Amino acid sequence: MNQPKNPSRYLLFSVLLIAVDQLSKLLVYKYMEPGFSGQILLIGNWLKLHYVLNPGMAFGMQLGHEYGKLFLTLFRLLAMCAIGWYLIHLARSGASKGLLWALSMILAGAVGNVIDSTFYGVFLDNAPYGSPTPWFHGQVIDMIFVDFWEGFIPEWVPLWGGQYYSTPIFNIADSCIFLGVCSILIFQGHFYNLDEETHHTTTKNDSENLDVTLEPHLPLDTVPTIPTEETPKNELELTNNFVNSDIPKDADSRESDPSQEIDLRKEENKNESL
């Protein structure tokens, strides 16, 4: 049976990831130039640090509406609160550790990007030109560039044919969300089956304990003894005497002993013969 867990360790793990995400973004903002001019190669030509500003969702996706950014930020705030509540609820319910660690990563990613969207437009002055307000319109700083392929998509591809495409650039918060979601999708059978088995075992044990508690118990002195071939005569007499010892008898209801009557009749017959 899984015991309830303290959600503090999982929330602290989320705080640690948020701190790493924000520190990396602020270092990129301070020490790197945006675009290809400030690009830093890490591993060959396929893993790079590439500073870009993302006005939309994860991996550079955007909402094409004047207030799309505001709606996105408000949605992130609601999602952040919902994920945090769900994480605490699952921890107190004794959910599997793997599921809780995965939700901690998703929570950290959501909070990290909410901080960018809410405050960077004000404190880093990176809100897009023409934004109604710098609040809730900050652009997310992305810097991790896994450059597997870039170029023009063939014309025969629906929707995106003929467009230039490169591998998305993302940040640590995006990575936390991606890894957390993938972990739940891959191991969901283990995470949720474990919880269902725990719940089933707990319910079964509670039911058995309830049956034992409700089973009637009769006092030993009220159970009559049924004679059998294997029951010794002395034991049967002792048991019946023990059972009947506490039963009151009125003086009027007492009956004479049949053995005494037989003895009296024998004596009378003997006297008559004499």
Give the residue numbers annotated as catalytic, written as ranges. Answer: 142, 174
Under DSSP, is residue 137 helix (H, G, I), strand (E, B) or coil? coil
Which phi and psi (to 5°) does residue 33 adopt? -90, 140
Q: 243 near 224, Cβ under 8 Å? A: yes
Could you give the CA distance from residue 15 to residue 169 in angstroms, rounded to a whole number? 23
Residue 149: CA count within 13 A, CB half-sphere: 5
Could you give the CA distance from residue 11 to residue 88 in angstroms, rounded to a whole number? 8
Could you give the CA distance from residue 194 to residue 1 in angstroms, rounded to a whole number? 10
The CA-based angle 254-258-264, given to 5 degrees, is 115
Find, among 108, 80, 121, 94, the residue nearest to 23 by Cα: 108
Residue 41 structure tokens: 């190669």
Find, among 245, 221, 246, 225, the residue nearest to 234 by Cα: 225
**185 contacts: CB under 8 Å, gap ≥ 6:** none
Q: 137 near 70, Cβ under 8 Å? A: yes
Which residue(s) pair with 152 in the sheet? 164
Q: 54 near 60, Cβ under 8 Å? A: yes
